[in-house]
Structure 1
Amino acid sequence: MHLVPRLRSSLAVMKNPTYTGENRCVPCTLLNLVLAVVLSVTVVAVLSGTGTALGAPAGVATFVAATALIYFRGYLVPGTPTLTKRYVPERVLAAFDKAPERTEWVETDPRELLFSLGVVVDDPAMDDLVLDPAFVDAWNRSIEVHRTEESELRRSLARLSGTGPRDLEFRDGPHVFALETSDAHLANWPSQAACIADAAGAVVLPEWDSDWDRRPVAVRADLLGVLRLFLERCPTCDGHVSLSQDVVESCCRRRDVAAATCRDCDARLFEMDVDPAMG
């Protein structure tokens, strides 16, 4: 009577969550599928060479077993991440990387655009670029609202993504905070704190940018992302934010990044790939 739910539950238990589901590494999975094909073809060739008629059925059975193992456990061959790092070209790994993709500037460099809007100003005393104090005050007030009221967070993200607040779903995974609907993936942030900062900024920036509603979503996202570079306090715990150069290691690749991170809760607020040779 309850055979199907029990079967689903049994299959779910067999899965290794470390390397399956949202944590599945696409390059490693593809490499293992290739190895499964090679193994199956080898079985067919070996058995066919003995004159038996079992070559083809055995090859099919081998491939089915191998793909089932990859589906449930993540890997067919132990040590796959090491093999992938060593033998798969970096440009291929980058194409499948789980980090949010960097978009091309549709209009102009977002730092220049924020400067032209007066959001970012030159501070001669610090000999550096800083946020306009009036913008900082408004942004901090907005962050406080979005940190404490999830309904406001949903409304701001809905306006930003063009969806209904009730349709939005949050997924908090390893090194990623995602915004989704039941049938679409909308956006990634490195943490919930970064998401709150962007939602709060999307409320304040239109007061400074008369063209905000006409800008492509990609440009608005880039502007909000650059704003996070100027955060001094964490949007979730109010801890101090520091800038540093770090190495981010996924399942099968390493990236050098410039990062803004909360010292207290370790939330990643901003992350940008850098050339290690420039350090």
Structure 2
Amino acid sequence: MGPIVLRRPEYTGQNRCWPCTVANGLVLAGCCLALVPLSIPLSLFALLAGAGAIRYRGYLVPYTPQLTARVRQAIASEPARPRAGSLDLKDDEELGRRTVETLLAEGVLVPDGDRLHLEERFRGAWREEMTRLRARSDEGLLAAITAATDGTDVELLEADRPLFVLTGSVGGEAWVSRPVVIAEIAAERALGVCVPDMNRRDRLTAARALRSFLEYCPVCETPTEETRPHLCCGSAPTPEARSGTVLVCPACDEALYRFLDD
């Protein structure tokens, strides 16, 4: 048997999962109440010891993270998937950098100190396109994706929140939500008007990056917010899942873009 770890920083501090903390607190309270008829000092000792475990370890019940992960997997009604995929299946960092340079050169992005913002003409064209696409059915968006992504197989996964599943002809797959589809197709079309010399491949790459400038949700027009995801301690512990600020629509509860930490 290995040594007992008294502190678990991966489950405390900023990493603390409050739903699990509350659940363990309720278990502790129930156990202490059950001990009261037998011995009040023993009940108080259990309370102090249990509270210390929850404070310094994040949980009291052994293997809470593992149990939580299994429960989440058992009750999940949909397969795990990224919530802010992209129509641009080729995640080419070098092409992405060149595309941003092109957007700056063409005036689509305008520097303002150490920040960038959208040029007003493009901003207006993008919002107009999003308004048009918003009125389309999921089947209508499916057709728009097919037209914008040559050589990509697209199918609609109907669930409580529809997802568009894209599979590239030479590999690559993405699960893309309706808000992201609307934002990227609208950006690609607006770029076709504002930067007519840019080819479609580059426009799709640019559309992925331009999602970071969304001020309103493409579906409901609620102002977007930047937040850090708070994951249950039973969630996937991958660096991608635990790092970065996410641009979200608080009304739709949809991730629109993930800003990766340096």
TM-score by length of 1: 0.51
Match of 1:241 among 207, 224, 228: 224
Query: What's 1:179 paired with?
Result: 165
Q: In the alignment, is residue 160 of structure 1 matched against residue 148 of structure 2?
A: yes
User: Aligned with 1:251: secondary structure?
Assistant: coil
Asked whether the 8 Å contact 2:99–2:206 carries over to 1, the reply is yes
Map 1:36-115 to 2 at 5 A: 79=66, 99=82, 102-106=91-95, 108-115=97-104
Over the matched positions of the two proteins, sequence identity in percent amounts to: 24
Following TM superposition, by how much is the alpha carbon of 1:82 offset from its aligned partner in structure 2, in angstroms? 7.0
1:120 is aligned to 2:109: yes
Note if contact 1:178-1:188 (Cα within 8 Å) is conserved in structure 2.
yes
Greater shift, 148-157 or 220-229, is seen at 148-157
Number of aligned positions between the proteins:
176
RCO greater where, 1 or 2, for CA within 8 Å and sep 6 or more? 2
**Which secondary structure does the structure 1 equivalent of 2:163 belong to?**
strand
Contact 1:147-1:236 within 8 A present in 2 as well: yes
| Compared CA separation, residues 149 and 273, structure 1 to 2 (3 A) | same
- Structure 2 vs 1, CA of residues 172 and 123 (structure 1 numbering), >3 Å: closer, same or farther? farther
SS at match of 1:212: coil
Q: Which residue is 1:94 aligned to?
A: none
- 1:266 aligned residue: 253
Are residues 172 and 152 of structure 1, via their aligned partners in 2, closer, same or farther at CA, if it must alter by over 3 Å?
A: closer
RMSD of equivalent CA atoms: 3.7
Distance 1:263 1:271, change over 3 A: same
CA contact (8 A) 1:170 1:180 kept: no
Unaligned runs of 5+ in 2: 1-64, 71-79
Residue aligning to 1:137: 124
d(CA) in 1 for partners of 2:191 and 2:148? 12
1:178, 1:185 → 2: CA distance? 14
Aligned equivalents of 1:146, 1:245: Cα separation in 2: 29
2:231 & 2:123 partners in 1: Cα distance?
Answer: 30
Matched, 1:229 2:212: yes
Check whether the contact 2:244–2:258 (CA below 8 A) recurs between aligned residues. Answer: yes
Which sections of structure 1, spanning at least 5 residues, go unmatched? Answer: 1-77, 84-96
After superposition, the Cα gap between the structure-2 partners of 1:248 and 1:112, relative to the gap in structure 1 and judged at 3 Å, is: farther
Question: What is the rounded CA distance, in whole Å, between the counterparts of 1:174 and 1:105 in structure 2?
Answer: 36
Distance 1:113 1:175, change over 3 A: farther
* Contact preservation (8 Å) 1:259, 1:268: yes
Aligned residue identity for 2:184: D
Per the alignment, residue 64 of structure 1 pairs with none
Matched, 1:210 2:193: no
User: Secondary structure of 1:145's partner?
Assistant: helix
**Aligned match of 1:251:** 236
**Change over 3 Å in CA distance of 1:179–1:212 after alignment to 2:** farther
Mark the CA change 1:146 to 1:169 in structure 2 (over 3 Å): closer, same or farther: same
| TM superposition score normalised by structure 2 | 0.54
The answer to whether the Cα contact below 8 Å between 1:241 and 1:260 also exists between their aligned partners in 2 is yes
Residues 127-136 or 137-146, more deviating = 127-136
